[in-house]
Copies of this chain bind each other. A is one copy, B any other.
Amino acid sequence: MSKTVTINDVARTAGVSITTVSRILNNKPDVSPETRKRVLEAIVQLDYTPHAQAKNLAAGKSRSIAVLYPAHSNGLSELEFEFFVGASTIAAKRGFLFNLFVNTLSEHTLLNLYRSNQIDGVILMEIHLQDERVHLLQENDYPFVMIGHCADNEGLSYIDLDFETSMLVSVDHLYKLGHRHIGLLSMSKALRDAGYGPVVRTGRGYAQACARFGLTPLYYEAPTTIEDAYAATHRMLDEHPEITAMVTLHPDSSVGIVRAVQSRGLSIPQDFSLIGIVIDRIAKLISPPLTAITFPAYLMGERAAQMLIRMLQESEYEPEQELLTPHLIIRDSTGPAR
Contacts and interface: CB of A to CB of B under 8 A. Distances in A.
A50 B81 contact: no
Contacts of A115: 4, 49
Contact of A71 (B4, B85, B117, B143): B85
A2 to B, nearest CB: 7
Copy number of this protein in the oligomer? 2
Contacts of A44: none
A255 B56 CA distance: 48
A285 B284 contact: no
Contacts of A76: 78, 81-82, 85, 281
A85 to B, nearest CB: 5
Given A49-B115, A259-B287, 20 more contacts: A49-B116, A50-B116, A53-B56, A53-B57, A53-B116, A53-B117, A54-B57, A71-B85, A78-B78, A78-B81, A81-B84, A84-B84, A85-B102, A92-B103, A97-B99, A99-B100, A251-B285, A252-B285, A255-B285, A258-B287
Interface of A: 1-2, 4, 49-54, 56-57, 62, 64, 71, 76, 78, 80-82, 84-85, 88-89, 92, 97-103, 111-112, 114-118, 140-143, 226, 251-252, 255, 258-259, 281-282, 284-287
